[in-house]
Chains A and B, each alone.
Chain A
């Protein structure tokens, strides 16, 4: 939660700084943002490649564990497609691109901004931060009505870090490995799926 607040703070400081004319707009030179983005991608790759816990978890699990991230991805797409019917200003692809952030708001908003501009990027930031917050606050209710996998699928890409504590608490310790594996897979899919819908 503290991490999310810091990130939102950076966004807000940038916004207000620009609003009050304190930040030179030369900062927005395309090249600079693009190289920062490439650097970030490379670092995220290193983090995923060096992660042993998730791969280890996979070896010890029954094959049905792969159904959990699949449920998250298909469920999110169905939900986002449904919502697109109520958002006349946004295309189906826009909604699927935002949904494919799966709560990974930093990366997805940055990507969508790069491909589709700051407006959709800001929608992605909002939607995906809210997804994390809804999961943190609603985990108990989700378990009660939709079973013990519900907060894991709702948490999306965040289930190996920020939402892991609430999942452990409400789904139970035996779901920690599933949660880690799920977070790993969904995390990995975000750059690919977001790029696919935002550019395709």
Chain B
């Protein structure tokens, strides 16, 4: 955990120092790293017979968790909107 946080903070610091340069390559490199890692996750899943047998359960669990997360979020959003945003001076919004 400490290692991961450390690496990321190092990145944040580098990013801050480099903020005046063109960093378009960074988002491209991120994309490639994500493709690579998700390809590898696919390989790991495909190699794992037990997971392959449970793909339907995995899908349903994922759907339930997505719906739960969204529902909780919109309820909290409603509370914050209702008590802190609605009817308040519009000019401070943007």
Contacts and interface: CB of A to CB of B under 8 A. Distances in A.
A80 interface: yes
B15 A15 contact: no
Contact of A177 (B39, B48, B94): B94
A130 B66 contact: yes
Given A37-B37, A118-B48, A192-B5, A153 B26 contact: no
B58 to A, nearest CB: 5
Contact of A17 (B30, B43, B52): B43
A80 B72 contact: yes
A5 interface: no
Contacts of B71: 79
Contacts of B15: 45-51
Contacts of A83: 64-65, 67-69
A79 B68 contact: yes
B4 to A, nearest CB: 6
Interface of A: 3, 6-7, 10-19, 23, 25, 27-28, 33, 36-52, 62, 64, 67-68, 70-72, 74-80, 82-83, 86-87, 89-90, 95, 98-99, 102, 106-107, 109-110, 113, 118-119, 121-128, 130-131, 134-135, 138, 142, 145-150, 152-154, 156, 173-178, 191-192, 195-196, 199-200
A137 to B, nearest CB: 11
B69 A195 contact: no
26 contacts: A7-B35, A14-B40, A14-B46, A23-B43, A25-B43, A36-B36, A40-B33, A41-B7, A41-B11, A45-B8, A46-B23, A50-B16, A75-B76, A98-B65, A127-B61, A127-B62, A130-B62, A142-B74, A146-B78, A149-B77, A152-B77, A153-B76, A174-B93, A175-B93, A178-B93, A191-B8
Given A42-B8, A44-B30, 13 more contacts: A14-B44, A16-B42, A47-B27, A49-B13, A52-B19, A68-B80, A71-B80, A99-B69, A134-B66, A146-B81, A147-B85, A152-B77, A154-B73
**Which of B18, B19, B63, B73 counts the most A-chain CB atoms under 10 A from its CB?**
B73
B20 to A, nearest CB: 9
B82 A147 contact: yes
B39 A131 contact: no
A10 B29 contact: no
